[in-house]
Amino acid sequence: MRSRAALPRFASLLCLLFLPSVLSSSPRRQWVLQRIPVVLPQQTEARPTPQFLNEARLDVASPCDPECHKTAPRRSYWDLRSLLAYETLDSNGQLTETAIGIYGYNPYSNTSPAYSSGSSGKAERSHVRRKRQIFGHDGRFSIAGQNFLLKYPFSVAVKLSTGCSGTLVGDRHVLTAAHCVHDGKNYVKGAQRLRVGFLKPKQRDVQHSPIYLPSNFTNHVEGGPEQYPPPTNDKMKFQWIRAKRTHVPKGWIKGNANDIGMDYDYALLELKKPHKRRHMKLGVSPPAQRLPGRRVHFSGFDNDRPGQLVYRFCRAGEETSDLLYQHCDAQPGASGSGVYARMWDGRRRRWERKVIGVFSGHQWVEKKGTSQEFNVAVRITPLKYAQICYWIKGNFVDCREG
């Protein structure tokens, strides 16, 4: 137990660790606003009721490595229409399929500054398949105590009843991975009665930490020079809200988590009632080289730390138009977490965090007798932004800039 005499000295150390970022000599990285294409629903048809046969898999395997994805043929307009068509599962078991139209998008042009991949470096590769999804020293740390759990951005992380994580992206909307609700062939057990869990204190009089931290602590814990685990408090519980409906792109269902399917490993949940928390905005994924420190962040509920919210950040590695490879430490249960970045919003004159991807999970690829390992996130491209935003807003007018 830390002595009272040590507290002032410890607080002084924290102040040194969390100096304002304005002292940094690195240039200010800004969000680049761009015109977003339009993805509109055209025709909806009823589909047979799903069987909900299998448990959700919390990991995803694919035989296609980054080079395989990069050499894949460019998708035509008709390919994209087919991949972005989507299914909607209602809580009453009703299933529909919706065809979509795409407007204001040229599939043969890849000049968007936020969409094109600007990375020329190779991702670090491992030739030994590990039992854990940890690369070297475990760089994760648990966020504990209501001072932190209920504070943005950590408060946007939620847990799904199927075992995955998700991120609040609207007043009643949660972004997660498609494999958390659909295995590529059918909807998983629990998808019809899906619930979303919000971590909350068990009682009102939760003891607070005696150490006073800077008001912008969360800005520095997201990639500061040192990692400081906040004060521990285990008196937390999940409060659950039922999902009203679930949207899954056909690109995932047709791909079955192989090859092209992994590019569409995302889903959106609509809750039955508003959650009353601040949510995180969507953003089009910029090239990794434009991210501050080339760094990405996400928080989720890793299975090896039950009941705890686990935060991590790491340097982004190789990327394709649809996927971002990195070696962020993670365990099953973290998949579905929103991968985000924090950059300067020149229009609003403030720092802004935006969700730029969905953590899909640990990928290992057997190739020529060796095993290559990656942790993979699905990038939010302009078309995916247009689709997810339409699901949230219900119109395209509010989705033209991302």
> Are the C-beta atoms of residues 308 and 142 closer than 8 Å to each other?
yes
**By the 8 A CB rule, do 391 and 371 touch?**
no
Catalytic residue among 117, 165, 335, 360: 335
Given the residues 179, 220, 247, 279, select the one marked as catalytic.
179
Buried b (16+ CB within 10 A) or exposed e, 333-370: bbbbbbbbbbbebeeeeeebbbbbbbbbbbbbbeeeee
**Coil/strand/helix, residue 345:** strand
**Before 107, cis peptide (omega within 30)?**
no
CA distance 148 to 145: 6
CB-side neighbour CA atoms (13 Å) of 85 = 17
Closest CA to 299 of 331, 271, 263: 331
Element (H, E) at 253: helix 250-255
259 part of the active site = yes
- Residue from 320, 311, 33, 359 nearest 175 by CA: 359
Helices and strands (H, E) in the chain, number of each type: 7, 17
Closest Cα to residue 326, out of 292, 288, 299, 353?
288
Check if 179 is active-site. yes
Q: Which of 90, 259, 304, 345 is catalytic?
A: 259
- Whether 355 and 368 have beta carbons less than 8 Å apart is answered as no
**In sequence order, which ranges of 59-120 are alpha helices (DSSP H)?**
66-70, 77-84
Phi/psi of residue 154, each to 5°? -65, -30
Contact assessment for residue 72 and residue 260, using Cβ atoms and an 8 Å cutoff: yes
**Catalytic (active site) residue 79:** no
Task: Give catalytic residue positions.
Answer: 179, 259, 335
